[in-house]
Amino acid sequence: MAFPHLQQPSFLLASLKADSINKPFAQQCQDLVKVIEDFPAKELHTIFPWLVESIFGSLDGVLIGWNLRCLQGRVNPVEYSIVMEFLDPGGPMMKLVYKLQAEDYKFDFPVSYLPGPVKASIQECILPDSPLYHNKVQFTPTGGLGLNLALNPFEYYIFFFALSLITQKPLPVSLHVRTSDCAYFILVDRYLSWFLPTEGSVPPPLSSSPGGTSPSPPPRTPAMPFASYGLHHTSLLKRHISHQTSVNADPASHEIWRSETLLQVFVEMWLHHYSLEMYQKMQSPHAKLEVLHYRLSVSSALYSPAQPSLQALHAYQESFTPTEEHVLVVRLLLKHLHAFANSLKPEQASPSAHSHATSPLEEFKRAAVPRFVQQKLYLFLQHCFGHWPLDASFRAVLEMWLSYLQPWRYAPDKQAPGSDSQPRCVSEKWAPFVQENLLMYTKLFVGFLNRALRTDLVSPKHALMVFRVAKVFAQPNLAEMIQKGEQLFLEPELVISHRQHRLFTAPTFTGSFLSPWPPAVTDASFKVKNHVYSLEGQDCKYTPMFGPEARTLVLRLAQLITQAKHTAKSISDQCAESPAGHSFLSWLGFSSMDTNGSYQANDLDEMGQDSIRKTDEYLEKALEYLRQIFRLSEAQLRQFTLALGTTQDENGKKQLPDCIVGEDGLILTPLGRYQIINGLRRFEIEYQGDPELQPIRSYEIASLVRTLFRLSSAINRRFAGQMAALCSRDDFLGSFCRYHLTEPGLASRHLLSPVVRRQVAGHTRGPRLSLRFLGSYRTLVSLLLAFLVASLFCVGPLPCALLLTLGYVLYASAMTLLTERGKLHQP
């Protein structure tokens, strides 16, 4: 929406709205291109907010617009090519943006749709720390929550583009869309390549007039004095004003303001999401002290402490859960930022280059990651590590984290991967990056250990994640650089003046790239402390990655990996012992039927031997990498393997989960629950009830089973006495009847529960007839096959039935004799 004095009835807007309903999409885009070329900015500014919303959807997620997140070239090639051409950084939509930019139009953006921390700050009249919001907040005359940001056309367009990833509803699970192929993902990549170029400079703004260029935004007058916001200190205010003046004074800076705006919007919209607790942690004591000094200098009155500003935000608690698509787009941003920052030439990247005259683009490349991204990315990753479900979808977060940790992968001088599997050594020139991002390596690694200890490492996807992290941290020289960074942080501080220490720890990462650089700190220890204190506060409790607590977690993970390898091997052995023909014979009825109906399975059973082999390979390599990183001895790892040998009894079967004996039977301990959840041990579950009353199986005919049960129950009631008399005889007939009329294997069952044991003891079953086997599909198919084979030899149904009966009598007689002989040899 435009400002009130610019809002007027527009025939052009009404015509385009009607065309969007009546005309095909290709025709709509052609008409829009003509309108952008032919109409002046005075007419175009009225359609701009509607056009932006119709493309990216409404901020409340009700309208999906052109649905860029689902649009793919291989599915809708014509529509895809039209959209990509229209929204390209050099396309018609950007021409419209620059055309309006030249006239200095402003558009209102509602504060209520900004990320939670920013929205809460502005609604409490507290200016956020990012210069992106300076001089843009428009307060309503009556006050209240109806706040807007006054944005220029470029900012308005990028705000909508970035927020469409967050505000639109998540894609349905049934819709399989590959994020890297969708139009939105590719547009993000194009915008990053255009405005943050790794080679050359930013292309100049497109202009509708021949030979003309669009000017940079002029200095803005604040809609409200900075003193009224009450949270920004003088130094930042001065830097902001000097930045605005320099942008208009330096022609080279005309190119950079768009790049800075694009990066700041992406970071604010995609990464500025965390809870109130994290927001409070981010406020260092020195930042609050500067706030206090600023308030004293402005008000010249009794001051109020800085804490009420945080108390005003106490009601804020953002329930934000990023999607996998969101994380993949952020990873694309991080990879491009590494390439952008590493595109500096060696002489430009050296510290001595700061004192020489450099172009704004070169200065921006140095400041992009540490000043704009580092702090918010750290909080975003902490939020993901703490709130993401314990499933395989965490792989997206993991790869985003690992991409940030390896800037050398995106350096122009990176080595091509060789034919050997040996990873290349991490150069010492990356030691400053590792030290200035120490928490990204150490604290998040400990957080990953805690997650890995709660997952099922028998799953190939979870095993792969442990392998990926271990492989990255095991790169030669990386662990040594991390350990050196921890030593620099943990070494005792010397006597430092309070003013100098405050300069080191004041968080200035979010300032403009043209603001003066802080005093050069030659001591690496101060740089590391500055990084940790600015992210965690000076009262943080740091857990060293190579300390005893983290080492204990690593040993637990190594033990869990060893147990998971053993479990995967056991599953593989079980699969190998059951040949393909065994299930077919069982289905035909030539093997013993499982009367217990228990099913013991793992997700590996559905994936086959290849996945089991991959799991074992991932875990084996991960264990070796952990041994290299933390210098674990072979004896320690061998103890885990030997400990697994004690979990088997003399018969080679697994022991029960860890339990204690209670009044009513076995009670699981916390260790026993952990063993069951991770598939390390399990109970041998057997059906202890009446076999005739088991649930009907999928291989049985339900109606026939019920009919046969009623028939057999009637026979058992009618002839119970006669069957008992026959089974009590000592001759062959008695043995033959006992073989058929008593429940087989009843005496050999192990009744584990005392409750069930008491119930069974009071309920003894006598001889009875069971006809349930006739209700099975496999029994009926077996009989049908026998009759078909007999018909091939000209044997009729009646002779065939007699032959089958005679054969079964002979078989049963032989089994009776063998059973009786076995009983005679029992002690």
pLDDT score for 121:
79
**497 near 278, Cβ under 8 Å?**
no
Lowest mean pLDDT among 186-200, 358-372, 811-825: 811-825
From residue 269, alpha-carbon distances to 158, 380, 701 in Å are: 10, 12, 59
Sequence-ordered list of residues with C-beta below 8 angstroms from that of 80, at least 6 positions apart, any chain: 71, 72, 73, 183
Q: Estimate the crossing angle of helix 609-630 against helix 634-645, to 10 degrees.
A: 140
Cα atoms found within 13 Å of the Cα of residue 613, Cβ hemisphere only: 4
Give residue-wise pLDDT tens across range 46-60.
Answer: 999 999 999 999 988
Rounded to whole angstroms, the Cα distance separating 285 from 161 reads: 36
What beta strand segments (E) does 139-294 contain?
148-151
Percent of the chain with pLDDT strictly greater than 70:
68
Lowest mean pLDDT among 62-66, 90-94, 747-751: 747-751
Confidence of residue 176 (pLDDT cuts 50, 70, 90): confident
Residue 534 scores a pLDDT above 80: yes
Closest to 148 (Cα-Cα) out of 140, 160, 159: 140
pLDDT score for 508:
42
Rounded to whole angstroms, the Cα distance separating 425 from 409 reads: 12
Give residue-wise pLDDT tens across range 68-91.
Answer: 988 998 889 999 999 999 999 999
Backbone angles phi, psi at 369, to 5 degrees: -75, -55
pLDDT score for 141:
60
User: Pick the residue with more confidence: 655 or 204?
Assistant: 204
Structure-token pair, residue 156:
């308005």
**812 near 736, Cβ under 8 Å?**
yes
How much is the CA Rg of the chain, to the nearest whole Å? 37
**695 near 578, Cβ under 8 Å?**
no
DSSP state of 109: E
Closest to 434 (Cα-Cα) out of 536, 545, 554: 545
Sequence-ordered list of residues with C-beta below 8 angstroms from that of 763, at least 6 positions apart, any chain: none
Beta partners for residue 283, in sequence order: none
Rounded to whole angstroms, the Cα distance separating 224 from 231 reads: 13
Structure-token pair, residue 547:
């300390």
Lowest mean pLDDT among 188-197, 295-304, 644-653, 797-806: 295-304
Rounded to whole angstroms, the Cα distance separating 522 from 807 reads: 96
Give residue-wise pLDDT tens across range 428-461.
Answer: 999 999 999 999 999 999 999 999 999 889 889 9
User: Pick the residue with more confidence: 690 or 42?
Assistant: 42
Closest to 376 (Cα-Cα) out of 115, 631, 584: 115
Rounded to whole angstroms, the Cα distance separating 614 from 632 reads: 24
**159 near 150, Cβ under 8 Å?**
no
Rounded to whole angstroms, the Cα distance separating 623 from 443 reads: 21
Residue 212 scores a pLDDT above 90: no
- Mean pLDDT throughout 250-261? 73
Confidence of residue 528 (pLDDT cuts 50, 70, 90): confident
Structure-token pair, residue 312:
């005003």
Beta partners for residue 150, in sequence order: 108
Q: Helix-strand-coil percent breakdown of the chain, rounded to 5?
A: 60, 5, 35
| Residue in the structure block whose two tokens are 């009556």 | 142
| Residue in the structure block whose two tokens are 């704009």 | 372
Rounded to whole angstroms, the Cα distance separating 593 from 598 reads: 12
**217 near 273, Cβ under 8 Å?**
no
